[in-house]
């Protein structure tokens, strides 16, 4: 009986999914294009480079001062310019800052509620009539009229155009100025900084409430500034990562505010470029990477039984390079000259004088981040290779440590390519070398190659540690060891190697070598294999275990769903033809947010709930945690799921607005606006839901239950120290020994493994065995 | 530290002499007029020079790595050589994908990629 | 965690007590990052697409000063290192090897990728852009007989390897060739310094002298390397008249004075003259010049970094602080230094000779 219901339900779900799959692509696929606001700033410059003063525009029917919600019949006409030919003699575009136009005849069509232009039929006239329904708010309304005086020869030469601005007063006078996005951004960042400062001071106050004065604060701060202890540096990484996660979130919210409706005027295209550049850079380099490093710093030495990292001072250097790099990256933002190249910084725009001056500082900051990542990579690889506890071979390392190993290996082998590219760009922009100067024979595609040689491993660098976290969390929650430990390790190593030979799929539409395109198409499809192995291993772990639903378990289960969905949407891109259609649309945005937020961020939320007791010695509140999971999970899917559909119908990314009509070639259908509003609402809900986590962390730090050494029943080394662990984490003279780890090494090494062992055992060891 | 000898002499000194000798040959290969030699092999002088330079760079490379950097003859030489060779795969990939490809999508399409050929 | 059981007073400015073994606080990372940020900021502000703005030079100098200060702290903490605390690897496959030696090799792995990136760039451009010599050999433009030829006064975009100038005569090659020998010699002196520092049966004063002298000569050779590089790039030199060995008095002009610069969009090599008409071929060689200066410059920056490290090590050796117990420190530096030498083995043929 039970089984029957299950089958029925599955069938219904399958049918629903099939219907959805049939219905979704049933919309016309439209090529992407630019919005109509270009006309406002640069005019009808296809007809001639500059406006002609002799083209005289008349606008009749508008009052001096309008009455709210009244309808006016407006006539736009002009004289002058080339002689009227009767056919194709003129065109116009009328834009108003308020109210709505309604079309009266076939000569006029609506581009947006408050923008009209001529139709194909209207092209033959020099007078057009339209109705304007005045807004109800009573503020002044600006009108911008463009007209083309066309000679009718079918070509653009000999045509002229002009622009005319007028203002119709409202009963309440001029409207309120729209908020300046930079002021909003600066204010919010300053507020976040103040809150952070207060939190830090409160943290100091809690260390010893009796003495809250400068004499004690200064050495306390100096200790944090100079520390080389891996746990303290991990905490510093968390503070930085969470702060910039907030900043990146603020940027995202402002972007969503702009995109909530069509043709919004909050952020201009120029500012929008800066905003999405900073959002990407901040989230990847200043939020995700520090959070990874935070967990790596805290957990890896504990898991492998090392007292500290191999090079503690280098570790401190890797951290401190980051906040200073952040300062450089944000240089020029608030004066409107922030980097506007996208986080990919494509050449030749990045070296052109047209790019903002802040780009140079952005590049400088990135160079410092490259240095930081390289040092981190060296430090962690060395630590994991040399400082594992007695008895802990490679195949006994916990999976989180393995994931950090693979991530750092990828990172530090790939990031030199990015560093070299950045130095080339930096020199191009300062001392004017010519690496990407097309006139001198430079090849902009070289930048794409160098960037993506790093960039693709980089996106795996941020997801692989999440794999590690999920493996730990699921195994502990299912109260068993992870299913297929060895295949998990091999899958991660496979992902690490494949990452380097797939990067070409980011450049399918760039005109790169067709052979390379073909190779990377095949290798990209290959990525699904190791990732699939991991997913099925996790499922099998759940299947064989008995699950305990803690908050971190919920996040891990959420990760399984969202990451798999993100992976499936990713499988559309390796197909070159599919990629050509989906390239540069919101489908891409949906895909990488599904894997980066649904993968990385969910993984880290799981990790926070999982290791917070170990780090602070206090338990987090499970009720608040569950609330956080439910709100965040639902709203998160509300943000990114509809984006797939918007992408398929051709909504372009990196564009500050979009237009709604059924007629316009570049515009989207009307329901796209509804979905965008839905996405924006969900985005704000998601943003605010994360305050539950912040509140939970702060409240639990003060009032949380005392955590035992091993609150979840985990069995890796970190659970055997106290919560919080002492400094140094393990005694130098009495390091821990891994005695029984047979569950991970049930199998003898294979032939290749034996050969490898022989190579890797130092000579003196060999002599002993003889 | 070296626990071995080259031709009965100190390895560092011998290595130093050898490197000096090879570099002299390199400089000579550039300075000498090899055009006749090149012509006899139906190629240009530049190609001959490039071959000589590449071939000499390899033993120089190995000599420095093996003897000065102790990748030969020490207890830890084997594993450190493996460490040093680890990036080889990634280096090959980068040279193949970045160094040796061209942005020739429009002009350099292979035959099997052109219209009309895939029908067989 | 204010109550951790660390009785060792943190000395973020001063010398470490290496016998303690626990993490040591240090101001150096903070100041180093700050200095690097200030320098990069100043550099970006002082040059804007080749426009030079001297008002920001003090910013760069301030940044470098902060970096120098941080290095001073770093070394002040390190100079007391006597080999007592040198962690040894416990994990296979590196068991028994010093941790920092492994770290040096891992660092060299990333350095390999840095130079691979530069060489990939070089290969891509060298193979992707036509060589200037090939263009010149096609002869002058003629609409009928030679439509692909070059024209007087119209710059051709082509690849002009620096070796066309450098390998054109023994004298032009001299700085590069001497540099090659200097680097090999300095690799050798570092190895000798390590050998004498490790030699257990040497008395202290003899060891101090040997190690100090070998390190100092390495330092001198490295400085010689950079000096000759500057001579070759910017200064040029003078060859006197020595008649009995057949030397004639003439000037060797530096690369920059020959017009081989990153801004050379109308570069003309002295051999690019059509014999029949006397017309000059001019070329836009900015890409090839950028490649030459940046690749060899990156190598030069590594040498400069080595000089900074050597300065400290020579000082420490002069104080007689290297003993067989901590001599491996010289080996870690030596690995880096040999690597720089290795890169030169590749850079020299492909940028100076070919």
Shared-domain flag, residues C185 and C292: yes
**What's the rounded Cα separation, in Å, for the pair A297 and A237?**
9
Query: Is the pLDDT score of A495 beyond 90?
Result: yes
pLDDT band at A46 (very low <50, low <70, confident <90, very high): low
- A534: tokens are 């991991």
pLDDT of residue C350: 87
Residue A249 CB partners (closer than 8 Å, separation 6+): A687, A690
Which residue do the tokens 């257990």 mark? C200
Q: Please tell me the predicted confidence (pLDDT) of residue A34.
A: 28
Is A79 among the domain residues? yes
Same domain as C234, residue C313? yes
| Confidence category of residue A33, pLDDT binned at 50, 70, 90 | very low
Q: Check B15 against C338: CB less than 8 A apart.
A: no
Interface test with C, best of B22, B30, B55 (most C CBs within 10 A): B30
Based on the domain organization, do C125 and C136 belong to the same domain? yes
Residues A217, A103 share a domain: no
Residues C236 and C320 in one domain: yes
CA distances from A104 to A66, A98, A118, C320 (A): 20, 19, 12, 96
Count of CB atoms situated within 10 Å of the CB of A621? 20
d(Cα A85, Cα A678) in Å, to the nearest integer?
48
Question: What is the pLDDT at residue A354?
Answer: 87
pLDDT tens for each residue of A564-593: 999 999 989 999 889 988 999 999 999 999
Residue C281 sits in a domain of what CATH number? 1.20.120.80
Q: Are residues A232 and A358 in the same domain?
A: yes
Q: Is A456 on the interface with B (CB under 8 A)?
A: no
Cα(C175)–Cα(A724) distance, integer angstroms:
60
User: Is residue A507 in some structural domain?
Assistant: yes
Q: Is the pTM of this model over 0.95?
A: no
* Contact between B11 and B68 (Cβ < 8 Å): no
Residue A211 pLDDT level (bands cut at 50, 70, 90): confident
* pLDDT at residue number A664: 57
pLDDT tens track for A421-455: 999 999 999 999 999 988 888 888 899 999 999 99
Quick one: C56 and C98 in the same domain? Answer: no
Q: Do A453 and B78 touch (CB under 8 A)?
A: no
The tens digit of pLDDT for each residue in A380-430 reads 999 999 988 888 888 888 999 999 999 999 999 999 999 999 999 999 999
A211-225, B85-99, C19-33, C304-318: segment of lowest average pLDDT: C19-33
Residues of A in contact with C129 (CB under 8 A): 441
Q: Residue A534 pLDDT > 60, yes or no?
A: yes
Choice among A620-629, A679-688, B26-35, B107-116 with the minimum mean pLDDT: B107-116
Q: What is the DSSP letter of A403?
A: H
Mean pLDDT score, C174-187: 91
The whole-angstrom distance between C171's CA and the closest CA on chain A is 28
Residues 6 or more apart in contact with residue C340 via CB below 8 angstroms: C183, C299, C302, C303, C306
Closest CA to C217 of C258, C184, C189, C183: C189
Last residue of a domain, one of A703, A718, A735: A703
The whole domain housing A68 covers: 37-168
B100 in contact with A, Cβ within 8 Å: no
Query: Do residue B102 and residue C194 have CB atoms under 8 angstroms apart?
Result: no
What is residue C20's predicted lDDT score, i.e. its pLDDT? 63
Residue environment code for A464-502, b if the CB has 16+ CB neighbours within 10 A, otherwise e: bbbbbbbbbbbbbbbebebbbbebbbebbebbbbbbbbb
How confident is the model over A634-639, as a mean pLDDT?
94
Residue C297 pLDDT greater than 90, yes or no: yes
Give the DSSP H or E segment for A765: helix A763-769
**pLDDT of the residue at A54:** 79
Known catalytic residue at A481? no
- The verdict on residue A761 lying in a domain is no
Tell me the mean pLDDT in the region C6-17.
65
Note if the bond before A348 is cis, omega within 30 degrees: yes
CB contact under 8 A, A441 and C48: no
Tell me whether residues A516 and B97 touch, CB distance under 8 A: yes
Domain identity same for A399 and A533: yes
Which residue is associated with the tokens 């990153």?
C262
Tell me the average pLDDT of chain C: 88
pLDDT at residue B34, rounded to an integer: 77
**Residue A506 known to be catalytic:** yes
> Does some domain include residue A22?
no
pLDDT in tens, A712-734: 988 888 888 888 898 878 877 77
The whole-number average pLDDT for the span A738-756 is 56
Q: How open is the CA angle B35-B36-B42, to the nearest 5 degrees?
A: 85
Residue that terminates a domain, selected from A168, A193, A218: A168
Query: Considering the domain boundaries, does residue A203 fall inside one?
Result: yes
Q: Which residues contact B13 (CB under 8 A, 6 or more apart)?
A: C188
At A82 the pLDDT is: 79
Q: What is the pLDDT of residues C307-317, one digit of tens each?
A: 999 999 999 99
Query: Does A696 share its domain with A604?
Result: yes
CA atoms within 13 A on the CB side of A652: 15
Judge whether A343 counts as a catalytic residue: yes
Give the Å distances, CA to CA, from A678 to A260, A279, A329, C7.
8, 21, 32, 58
Interval C237-264 mean pLDDT: 85
Question: Tokens representing A2?
Answer: 């039970």
Same domain membership, residue C215 and residue C98: yes
Read off the pLDDT of residues C101-135 as tens digits, 9 standing for 90 and up: 999 999 999 999 999 999 999 999 988 888 898 88
Query: What per-residue confidence (pLDDT) applies to A2?
Result: 58
Give the lowest-confidence range in A85-89, C63-67, C249-253: A85-89
Look at residue A752 in the predicted model and tell me its pLDDT.
63
Structure confidence at residue A317 (pLDDT):
95
Same domain, A566 and A439: yes
- The mean pLDDT of C54-71, rounded to a whole number, is 94
Q: Does an H or E element contain A71, and which? A: strand A71-79
Residues C34 and C90 occupy one common structural domain: no
φ and ψ at residue C52, rounded to 5 degrees: -95, 130
Asked if A543 is an active-site residue, the reply is no
Q: What ipTM did this prediction achieve?
A: 0.94
Number of domains in chain C: 2
C87 shares its domain with C52: no
Are residue A359 and residue A401 in the same domain, yes or no? yes
More confident call, C4 vs A384: A384
pLDDT at A1: 47
Q: Name the minimum distance, in Å, from the CA of B71 to any CA of chain C.
A: 10
Structural domain boundaries enclosing C17: 1-80
pLDDT value at residue B31: 74
Best mean pLDDT range from A715-724, B36-45, C63-72: C63-72
Q: Is the peptide bond before B35 cis (omega within 30 degrees of 0)?
A: no
pLDDT band for C228, please (50, 70, 90 cuts).
very high
Q: Is A396 exposed, middle or buried (0-12, 13-18, 19+ CB in 10 A)?
A: buried
Residue A465: what are its φ and ψ, rounded to 5°?
A: -60, -35
Q: DSSP state, A433?
A: -
A372 is catalytic: yes
Tell me whether residue A653 is one of the annotated catalytic residues: yes
Contact A387 C87 (CB under 8 A): yes
Do residue C148 and residue C56 come from a single domain? no
Q: Is the pLDDT of residue B97 over 70?
A: yes
Q: Tell whether A43 is covered by a domain.
A: yes
pLDDT above 50 for A765: no
Q: How many structural domains comprise chain A? A: 3
Range B52-60 average pLDDT = 88
Say if residue C3's pLDDT is above 60.
no
pLDDT for res C79: 86
- Our CA-based measurement puts residue B70 at a distance from the nearest CA of chain C, in whole angstroms, of 9
pLDDT at A498: 92
Mapping DSSP onto H, E and C, the string for A606-658 reads HHHHHHHHHHHCECCCHHHHHHHHHHHHHHHHHHHHHHHHHHHCCCECCCCCC
Are C90 and C228 part of one and the same domain? yes
Query: pLDDT band at A63, cuts 50/70/90?
Result: confident
Is C146 in the same domain as C45?
Answer: no
- Does the pLDDT of residue C5 top 70, yes or no? no
User: Kind of pairing, strands C156-157 and C51-52?
Assistant: unpaired
Paired tokens of C11 = 């000395």
Percent pLDDT > 70 in chain A is 89
Residue A347 lies in a domain: yes
Give the model's pLDDT for residue A38.
44
**Do residues C73 and C155 share a domain?**
no
Whether the Cβ atoms of residue A707 and residue A617 lie closer than 8 Å to each other: yes
Q: Are strands A90-96 and A115-118 parallel, antiparallel or unpaired?
A: antiparallel
Q: How far apart are CA A633 and CA A370, in angstroms?
A: 33
Say yes or no to pLDDT of C144 above 60. yes
Q: What is the pLDDT of residues C150-174, one digit of tens each?
A: 888 889 889 999 988 988 887 888 8
* Residue keyed to tokens 């998990």: A488
pLDDT in tens, A108-163: 888 777 888 888 777 788 888 888 888 887 788 888 888 888 777 766 677 788 88
Query: Mean per-residue pLDDT for C71-83?
Result: 87
Q: Residue A650: pLDDT above 90?
A: no
A230 is catalytic: no
Chains touching A, CB cut-off 8 Å, 3+ pairs: B, C
pLDDT in tens, A175-203: 667 788 899 999 999 999 999 999 999 98
CB distance A670 to A651 below 8 Å = no
Reduce the DSSP state of residue C319 to 3 states and report it. Answer: coil
Per-residue pLDDT at C16 exceeds 80: no
Question: Same domain for A191 and A155?
Answer: no
The domain locations on chain B are 11-113
Mean pLDDT of A744-749: 46
Q: For the domain that residue A596 is a member of, what is the CATH number?
A: 1.20.210.10
Q: Which residue of the set A126, A550, A593, A653 is catalytic?
A: A653
Kindly tell me if the per-residue pLDDT of C243 is higher than 90: no
């Amino acid at each position: 009986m039970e089984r029957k219901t299950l089958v029925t339900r599955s069938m219904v779900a399958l049918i629903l999914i099939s219907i959805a799959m049939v219905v979704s692509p049933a919309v016309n696929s439209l090529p992407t294009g630019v919005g109509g606001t270009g006309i406002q700033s640069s005019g009808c410059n296809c007809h001639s480079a500059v406006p002609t003063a002799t083209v005289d525009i008349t606008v009749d029917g508008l009052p001096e001062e309008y009455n709210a919600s009244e309808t006016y019949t407006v006539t736009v006409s002009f004289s002058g310019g080339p002689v009227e030919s009767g056919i194709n003699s003129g065109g116009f575009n009328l834009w108003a800052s308020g109210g709505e136009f309604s079309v009266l005849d076939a000569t006029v069509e609506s581009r947006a509620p408050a923008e009209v232009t001529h139709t194909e039929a209207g092209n033959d006239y020099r007078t057009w009539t339209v109705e304007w329904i005045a807004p109800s708010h009573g503020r002044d309304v600006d009108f911008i009229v463009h007209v083309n005086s066309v000679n009718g020869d079918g070509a653009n030469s000999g045509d002229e155009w002009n622009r005319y601005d007028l203002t119709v007063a409202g009963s309440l006078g001029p409207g309120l100025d729209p908020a300046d996005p930079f002021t909003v951004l600066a204010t919010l960042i300053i507020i976040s900084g103040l809150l952070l400062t207060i939190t830090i001071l409160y943290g100091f106050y809690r260390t010893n409430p009796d003495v809250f004065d400068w004499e004690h604060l200064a050495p306390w701060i100096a200790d944090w500034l100079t520390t080389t202890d891996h746990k303290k540096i991990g905490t510093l990484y968390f503070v930085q990562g969470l702060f910039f996660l907030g900043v990146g979130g603020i940027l995202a919210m402002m972007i969503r505010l702009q995109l909530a409706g069509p043709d919004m005027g909050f952020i201009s295209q120029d500012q929008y470029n800066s905003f999405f550049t900073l959002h990407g850079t901040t989230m990847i380099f200043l939020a995700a990477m520090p959070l990874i490093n935070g967990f790596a710093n805290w957990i890896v030495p504990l898991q492998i039984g090392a007292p500290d990292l191999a090079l503690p001072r280098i570790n401190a250097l890797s951290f401190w390079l980051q906040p200073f790099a952040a300062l450089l990256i944000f240089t020029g933002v608030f004066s409107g000259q922030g980097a506007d190249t996208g986080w990919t910084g494509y050449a030749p725009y990045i070296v052109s004088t047209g790019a903002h001056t802040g780009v140079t500082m952005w590049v400088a900051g990135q160079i410092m981040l490259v240095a930081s990542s390289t040092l981190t990579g060296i430090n962690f690889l060395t630590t994991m290779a040399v400082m594992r506890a007695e008895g802990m071979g490679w195949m006994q390392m916990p999976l989180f440590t393995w994931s950090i190993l693979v991530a750092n290996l990828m990172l530090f082998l790939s990031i030199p390519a990015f560093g070299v590219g950045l130095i080339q760009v930096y020199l191009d922009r300062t001392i004017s070398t010519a690496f990407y100067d097309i006139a001198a024979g430079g090849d902009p595609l070289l930048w794409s190659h160098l960037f993506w040689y790093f960039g693709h491993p980089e996106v795996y660098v941020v997801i692989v540690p999440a794999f590690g976290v999920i493996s730990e969390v699921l195994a502990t929650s299912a109260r068993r060891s992870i299913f297929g430990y060895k295949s998990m390790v091999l899958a991660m190593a496979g992902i690490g190697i494949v990452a380097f030979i797939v990067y070409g799929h980011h450049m399918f539409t760039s005109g790169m070598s067709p052979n390379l395109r073909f190779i990377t198409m095949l290798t990209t499809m290959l990525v699904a294999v190791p990732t699939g192995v991991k997913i099925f291993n996790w499922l099998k772990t759940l299947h064989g275990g008995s699950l305990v639903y803690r908050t971190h378990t919920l996040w891990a289960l959420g990760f399984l769903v969202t990451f798999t969905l993100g992976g499936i949407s990713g499988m559309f891109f390796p197909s070159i033809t599919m990629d050509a259609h989906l390239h540069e649309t919101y489908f891409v945005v949906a895909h990488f947010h599904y894997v980066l937020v649904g993968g990385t961020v969910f993984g880290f939320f799981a990790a926070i709930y999982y290791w917070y007791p170990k780090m602070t010695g206090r338990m987090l509140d499970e009720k608040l945690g569950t609330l956080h999971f439910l709100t965040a999970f639902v709203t998160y899917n509300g943000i990114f799921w509809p984006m797939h559909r918007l992408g398929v119908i051709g909504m372009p990314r990196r564009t500050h607005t979009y237009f709604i009509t059924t007629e316009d070639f570049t515009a989207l259908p009307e329901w796209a606006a509804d979905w965008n509003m839905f996405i924006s609402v969900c985005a704000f809900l998601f943003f605010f839901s994360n305050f539950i986590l912040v509140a939970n962390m702060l409240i639990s730090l003060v009032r949380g239950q005392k955590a035992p050494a091993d609150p979840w029943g985990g069995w890796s080394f970190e659970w055997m120290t106290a919560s919080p662990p002492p400094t140094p984490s393990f005694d130098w003279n009495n390091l821990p020994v891994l005695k029984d780890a047979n569950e991970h090494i049930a199998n003898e090494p294979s032939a290749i493994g034996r050969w490898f062992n022989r190579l890797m055992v130092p000579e003196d060891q060999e002599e002993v065995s003889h | 530290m070296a626990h071995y000898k080259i031709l009965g002499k100190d390895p560092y000194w011998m290595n130093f002499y050898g490197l000096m000798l090879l570099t002299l040959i390199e400089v000579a290969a550039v300075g000498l007029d090899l055009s006749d030699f090149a012509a006899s092999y139906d190629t240009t002088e530049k190609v001959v020079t490039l071959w000589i330079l590449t071939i000499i760079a390899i033993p120089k490379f190995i000599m420095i790595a093996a003897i000065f950097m102790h990748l030969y003859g020490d207890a830890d030489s084997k594993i450190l050589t493996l460490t040093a060779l680890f990036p080889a795969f990634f280096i090959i990939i980068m040279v193949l994908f970045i160094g040796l490809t061209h942005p020739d999508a429009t002009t350099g399409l292979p035959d099997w990629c052109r219209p009309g050929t895939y029908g067989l | 965690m204010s109550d951790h059981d660390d009785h060792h007073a943190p000395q973020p400015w001063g010398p470490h007590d290496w016998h303690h073994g626990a993490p040591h606080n240090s101001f150096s990372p903070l100041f180093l990052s700050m200095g690097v940020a200030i320098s990069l900021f100043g550099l970006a502000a002082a040059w804007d697409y080749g426009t030079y703005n001297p008002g920001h030079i003090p910013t760069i100098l301030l940044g470098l000063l902060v970096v120098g200060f941080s290095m001073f702290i770093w070394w002040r903490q390190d100079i007391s290192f006597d080999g007592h605390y040198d962690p040894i690897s416990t994990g296979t496959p590196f068991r028994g090897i010093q941790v920092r030696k492994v770290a040096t090799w891992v660092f060299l792995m990333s350095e390999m990728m840095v130079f691979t990136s530069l060489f990939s760039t070089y290969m891509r451009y060298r193979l992707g852009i036509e060589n200037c010599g090939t263009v010149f050999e096609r002869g002058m433009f003629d609409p009928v007989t030679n439509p692909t030829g070059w024209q007087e006064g119209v710059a051709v975009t082509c690849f002009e390897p620096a070796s066309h100038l450098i390998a054109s005569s023994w004298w032009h090659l001299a700085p590069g060739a001497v540099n090659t020998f200097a680097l090999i010699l300095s690799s050798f002196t570092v190895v000798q310094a390590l050998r004498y520092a490790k030699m257990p049966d040497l008395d202290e004063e003899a060891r101090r002298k040997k190690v100090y002298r070998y390190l100092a000569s390495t330092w001198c050779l490295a400085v010689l390397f950079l000096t000759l590089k500057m001579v070759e790039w910017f200064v040029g030199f003078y060859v006197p008249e020595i008649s009995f060995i057949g030397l004639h008095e003439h000037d060797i002009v530096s690369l920059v004075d020959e017009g081989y610069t990153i801004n050379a969009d109308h570069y003309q090599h002295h051999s690019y003259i059509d014999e029949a008409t006397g017309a000059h071929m001019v070329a836009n060689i900015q890409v090839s010049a950028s490649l030459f200066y940046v690749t060899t410059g990156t190598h030069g920056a590594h040498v400069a970094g080595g000089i900074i490290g050597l300065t400290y090590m020579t000082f420490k050796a002069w104080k007689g602080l290297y003993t067989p117990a901590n001599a491996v420190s010289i080996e870690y530096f030596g690995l880096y230094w040999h690597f720089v030498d290795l890169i030169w083995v590749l850079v020299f043929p492909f940028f100076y000779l070919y």
